[in-house]
Amino acid sequence: MSSGRACGDAAPTVARRSVQQAVALVLAMTLAWAPVAQAERTRFKPGWNLFSPAQDVEIGRQVSQDAERQLPIVNDSRIESYLNTLGRRLTAKAPGERYPYQFKLVNDRAINAFCLPGGYVYVNRGVIENADNETQLAGVMAHEISHAALRHGTNQASKAYAAQVPLAILGGVLGSNSIGAVLTQVGAGFAANSILLKYSRDAERQADLLGAQILYDAGYDPRGIPQFFEKLEAQGRGGHMPDWFSSHPSPENRIAGVNNEIEKLGGAPPNYKTNSPEFRAVRGNVLSLPTIGKGSTPARREERGPGRAGRPDLPSNRYQSYQNGLLRMSYPDNWKAYGQEGAVTFAPEGGLVDDGHGNAALAYGVIVNIFEPHANRYSQVTLEDATDQLIDDLRHSNPAMRISRRHERVRIGGERALSTYLTNDSTAGGKEYLWLVTVLRPDGLVYFVSVAPERDYDDYDQAFQNMLSSVRFPR
């Protein structure tokens, strides 16, 4: 009897051990797979920007005032509370800056939504009315959140402004931190053709893919995004093209791109959320809202006044350190550093002068910036090609600019670089010399422009050389 009982206990013991081993194997595979799936997701990095993240918020705040003077905003506390609760769940998973995201409903049955820099998100009632569930609404909101997180609006404004203004004015903008004049120059108020809302197809693709990631990380089924797109396309085939496609380009592979990203994520997350009683209740409220007309036209921005005129003191022999995510370098301790992560101006007091048109312009100092070269589809862009593209761009907005000494190979911060000398009309009067140094980095073409009037250049040349010699790039 004793022996039989022992044999009888052994079978369940072996069975339990087998189950435990199987569970351990599944758990190990799950843990091993999780970082792989995480690693496979598409990575994004915001593009070059003249503005700081804090200025994104200020721009968004200013333009949102224009928007809300024009748009029929729904003032319903229950709907607004629901949108902001859902929005906070999504923004908690958004990368980048912790913007003070705000979500408001527009009483417009057109299927559309938009996001201003700094996280001011507006959703038309048509999105809620046409969404089958909360996941589809969350997908639209996650797409708009992605535009803010990746700073697409101010990236577009930065590129437009840099292409329009003389190099000296660009340096002055970086130095004065003035945003009002920039917004006016590039037409960045609230309007259908506003540069802040006119995204490229690549920006839309990024917002689609990052939106899918945000949905996944927030516990929603990311398939809600392509499902909503399919619904919109079906309406378009019926002869009525949704407003969404007037402001959100629709390339043929857009749905396929999102589905491919979802495959990288491993499909829907475990125990994913699709709908909620709150969504159904709010959708009922929205359906019962009366339709309200649109409002007035936007107001113009005030421009900031000019900077100080006059010849500055000579550069100090003592130097102080500057560092951002792009580089580390030194500059004279009687100069100031203006700007932000991707763009900075070093200038002495009085180095920014009035150009005669109310703009602060750089006459003495150094500009550090990033240029995004256009790659040849048949070959990788070279340092020489990228530098030529940059000079062509600069000459569009600086018609008096001439090359006085062609590219010479040098090294900056241990990297291969090109040195080019140019001349231009100086905002301080007469001619100016410009020393352009370019380095091709993973972020783009990093360029340094050292500038001073011709009559004073020799007094600044050593300081310029010391500054460039001190540059160090992160490895």
Question: Concatenated DSSP letters for 39-100?
Answer: HHSPP------SS-HHHHHHHHHHHHHHHHHHS-B---HHHHHHHHHHHHHHHTT--S----
Residue 393 lies in a domain: yes
pLDDT band, very low/low/confident/very high, at 176 (cuts 50, 70, 90): low
- Please tell me the predicted confidence (pLDDT) of residue 236: 60
Mean pLDDT of 467-472: 96
Residues 283 and 168 in one domain: yes
More confident residue, 338 or 225: 225
208-212, 283-287, 421-425: least confident range: 283-287
Say which DSSP state 412 is in.
Answer: E
Looking at the structure of the chain, the number of domains it has is 3
> Three-state DSSP class for 458?
helix
pLDDT band, very low/low/confident/very high, at 178 (cuts 50, 70, 90): low
37-51, 194-208, 234-248: least confident range: 234-248
Residues 31 and 89 in one domain: no
For residues 232 and 244, give the distance between their C-alpha atoms in angstroms, rounded to a whole number: 8
Mean pLDDT of 429-441: 94
- Classify strands 365-371 and 431-441 as parallel, antiparallel or unpaired: unpaired
Name the nearest CA neighbour of 166 among 390, 455, 400, 421. 400
pLDDT band, very low/low/confident/very high, at 95 (cuts 50, 70, 90): very high
Fill in the amino acid letter for 366. Answer: V
217-231, 360-374, 440-454: least confident range: 360-374
Residue 47 lies in a domain: no
Residues 197 and 268 in one domain: yes
- Please tell me the predicted confidence (pLDDT) of residue 191: 57
The H or E element spanning position 441 is strand 431-441
Mean pLDDT of 246-274: 81
Mean pLDDT of 118-127: 95
- Please tell me the predicted confidence (pLDDT) of residue 2: 38
- Please tell me the predicted confidence (pLDDT) of residue 295: 34
- In 199-307, which residue ranges form alpha helices assigned H by DSSP? 201-217, 224-237, 244-247, 254-265, 277-287
27-36, 186-195, 456-465: least confident range: 27-36
Mean pLDDT of 106-117: 92
Answer for the pair 397, 165: CB distance below 8 angstroms, yes or no.
Answer: yes
Residues 225 and 119 in one domain: yes
Residues 141 and 238 in one domain: yes
Residues 349 and 429 in one domain: yes
Calculate what percentage of the chain has a pLDDT beyond 90: 50
Cα distance between the two ends of the chain: 74
Residue 308 lies in a domain: no
More confident residue, 237 or 113: 113
- What is each CA distance from 332 to 180, 319, 324, 365, 417, in whole angstroms? 29, 4, 17, 10, 23
Say which DSSP state 212 is in.
Answer: H
16-25, 74-83, 424-433, 464-473: least confident range: 16-25
Mean pLDDT of 383-407: 90
pLDDT band, very low/low/confident/very high, at 229 (cuts 50, 70, 90): confident
Residue 144 has pLDDT above 90, yes or no: yes
Residue 46 lies in a domain: no
For residues 425 and 423, give the distance between their C-alpha atoms in angstroms, rounded to a whole number: 7
For residues 188 and 177, give the distance between their C-alpha atoms in angstroms, rounded to a whole number: 16
Residues 254 and 118 in one domain: yes
Residue 165 has pLDDT above 80, yes or no: no
Average pLDDT, the chain: 81
Order of all β-strands in the sheet with 102-106: 102-106, 120-124, 113-116
Sign of CA dihedral 315, 344, 182, 121: negative
Strand ranges (E), 242-376: 319-323, 328-332, 335-339, 344-348, 352-354, 360-362, 365-371
Answer for the pair 79, 285: CB distance below 8 angstroms, yes or no.
Answer: yes
Spell out a b/e string for 418-445, using b for 16 or more CB atoms within 10 Å of the CB, else e.
bbbbbbbebbbeeebbbbbbbbbeeebb
Mean pLDDT of 131-147: 96
More confident residue, 165 or 370: 370
Residues 143 and 98 in one domain: yes
Residue 243 has pLDDT above 60, yes or no: no
Residues 59 and 111 in one domain: yes
pTM of the shown model: 0.65
Mean pLDDT of 429-451: 93
Residue 44 lies in a domain: no
Provide CB contacts within 8 A for 412, sequence distance 6+. Answer: 437, 439, 448, 468, 471
Residue 303 has pLDDT above 50, yes or no: no
Q: pLDDT by residue (tens digit) across 344-357? A: 889 999 898 877 66
Residue 314 lies in a domain: no
**Structure-block tokens of residue 269:** 């997350």
Mean pLDDT of 232-245: 59
For residues 319 and 334, give the distance between their C-alpha atoms in angstroms, rounded to a whole number: 8
* Of the residues 234, 263, 287, the one at which a domain ends: 287
Mean pLDDT of 121-142: 96
Residues 144 and 209 in one domain: yes
Spell out a b/e string for 244-280, using b for 16 or more CB atoms within 10 Å of the CB, else e.
bbebbebeeebbebbeebbebbbebbeebbbeeeebe
Residue 373 has pLDDT above 80, yes or no: yes
Answer for the pair 72, 293: CB distance below 8 angstroms, yes or no.
Answer: yes
For residues 454 and 272, give the distance between their C-alpha atoms in angstroms, rounded to a whole number: 66
Range of the domain at 139: 53-287
For residues 177 and 173, give the distance between their C-alpha atoms in angstroms, rounded to a whole number: 6
Residue 328 lies in a domain: yes
Q: pLDDT by residue (tens digit) across 1-58? A: 333 444 344 444 444 555 455 444 444 444 443 443 454 899 998 888 888 899 899 8
More confident residue, 144 or 341: 144
Residue 306 lies in a domain: no
Residues 120 and 164 in one domain: yes
Residues 94 and 193 in one domain: yes
- Please tell me the predicted confidence (pLDDT) of residue 342: 65
Mean pLDDT of 438-458: 93
